[in-house]
Amino acid sequence: MIDLKFLRDHPETVRASQVTRGEDPALVDQLIAADERRREAIAAADSLRAEQKAFGKKIGQASPEERPALLAGSNELKAKVKEAEAAQKAAAEEVDRLQMLLSNVVEGAPAGGEDDFVVLEHVGEPRSFDFEPKDHLALGESLGLIDMERGAKVSGARFYFLTGYGALLQLAMLNLAAQKAVANGFQLMVPPVLVRPEVMSGTGFLGAHSDEIYYLPQDDLYLVGTSEVALAGYHQGEIIDLSAGPKRYAGWSSCFRREAGSHGKDTRGILRVHQFDKVEMFTWCKPEEAAAEHQRLLNMERDMLAAVEVPYRIIDVAGGDLGASAARKFDTEAWVPTQGTYRELTSTSNCTTFQARRLQVRYRDDAGRTQTCATLNGTLATTRWLVAILENNQQADGSVLVPKALQPFLGREVLEPVK
C-alpha cells in the first residue's frame, strides 16, 4: 500500500500513476476523502474521550447531592464515546480497504499496456540456421528430455515430466543460478510453497490477477507462483537491521500458476505451464538504495543469461502491464528461433515500500527512528529457460550443444537424440 502522507502531499503524482497503469484515478480522490473522514473521526473521538476524562474528575469532586445528576450525564457521554470510537474504527477500515485497492506509484515506466514496452538493449545476435530448426518440444522429445504426454496423463494439460538429461539440465541451470547468487552475497533459501492469505495479500498478488493463484480452501493456504511471496513474508511484522546494507535472499522453489485466461496460448511445450522451478532473488533495503539495487539485480540476470549463451533483449515494461506491487519492472526476453520473436525469461521489479508497508517490515534509520523498507525481486533462472537453451544451441543432426557453464553439472558437452 502507498504512504498516506505521500498521497496527501502529491495527489497529482498518484493520479498520474493510475492513468499510466490504465486504472481509475478516481480511486485516489476516494482515498483522500476517506482519509479526511478518518482524521475527523479520530479528532472527534479524542475530544469526547478528553471530555469524559474531565467529567470523571468532576464526579469525583462532586457532593453526594450533585453526583446522581452527574452520573446520568456520564452515562450519556459514555454512549457518545462508544459511538465515536465505532465511527473511528469504521473510518479506519474504509481507508485500509481503499489503500489495498490502490496499486503502487509508477516510477519512470512508460505509459500503456502489454505492447507499449520500451526496448532498452539487445544482447547477442539471433542465430541464422542453414537447416530447419526444431522447436523445443520436438528437440526435448527426440533427446529424451521432456515427456508432455505422460505429464498430461498424470496431472492434465500443461503438466510435464523432465526426464534424464532434461532433469539434469534444469538442475544444472538452477545450481549455477544458486552459486552465482551466493557468490554475490545472497543467502540461499528453500522456502515454503504454501502461504497464508495475509502473506499473499501483503505482496500484492490477491488483486486483479488472483485467479492465477491456486487456493486450498480446506487449509486456507495459497500455492505460490514465485518464492518472492514467501521471502517477503519471512520478515513480516519485524524491525530488521539494514545498518550493514541490504538483506538479500535467493529462494529455490517449485512454483504454481493456474494460467487462467490463457486458453489456446502457448499450449505446446513448457513455455506456459502450471508448475515450474525457479531461483528468485529478493532484497530488503532502504528506499534510497532501491534504484541502484534494481540495476544490481538486472546485472545479475545479464550475467546468468550470458552463461547460458542465448541472445536476448531488455525491455522497460509499460505501466499498464505492471503488477500491483511494482513501481518499475525490467524484463529480459530471449530469442526463440522457431517463433521468430523474443519471449520473456526473467523479470526484475522495484516494489519500493509498497509490500513492506503491507507486511509491516521496518528498519531503524541513523537517528533510531523506524522507517518502512523497500523490496525488490528478480528471477535468476527458471524452467522456461530450457526453451531458449535448446532452440538456440541445436545442431543440424538434431543434437544440442550444452552451454559451457552448464557442462560441469551434466558431465557432457552435447545432448544427442536417443535411439
Is 384 among the residues known to form the active site? yes
Bind-site residues: 226-228, 257-259, 273-276, 280, 344-347, 377, 379
Q: Which domains does the chain have, with CATH numbers?
A: 4-101 (1.10.287.40), 118-415 (3.30.930.10)
Three cell numbers, residue 224: 505460490
**pLDDT at 210 > cutoff 90:** no
Q: Residues, the chain, total?
A: 419
- Asked which of 72-81, 123-132, 156-165, 281-290 is least confident by mean pLDDT, the reply is 72-81
Bind-site residues for L-serine: 226-228, 257, 280, 377, 379
**What pLDDT digit, counting tens, does each position of 242-300 carry?**
999 999 999 999 999 998 765 667 778 999 999 999 999 999 999 999 999 999 999 99
User: Could you tell me which of 403, 383, 394, 387 has the C-alpha nearest to residue 339?
Assistant: 387
Is 257 among the residues known to form the active site? yes
Is 347 among the residues known to form the active site? yes
Which residue in 248, 357, 358, 384 is the catalytic one? 384
Which residue in 272, 302, 313, 343 is the catalytic one? 272
Beta-carbon neighbour count of residue 235 at 10 Å? 20
C-alpha distances in Å from residue 24, one per residue of 12, 18, 21, 61: 13, 6, 9, 57
Q: Percent of the chain scored above 70 by pLDDT?
A: 94
**pLDDT at 220 > cutoff 80:** yes
Which residue in 344, 364, 399, 416 is the catalytic one? 344
pTM over 0.85: yes
DSSP for 167-201, written as a single string: HHHHHHHHHHHHHHHHHTTPEEE---SEE-HHHHH
Which conformational region is residue 269 in: left (phi greater than 0), alpha (psi within -120 to 50 degrees), or beta? left
Is 67 among the residues known to form the active site? no
Which residue in 253, 347, 362, 391 is the catalytic one? 347
Bind-site residues for ATP: 257-259, 273-276, 344-347
* Helix spans in 203-243 (H): 228-233
* Helix spans in 132-274 (H): 136-142, 148-155, 165-183, 197-202, 228-233
**What pLDDT digit, counting tens, does each position of 393-409 carry?**
999 999 999 999 999 99
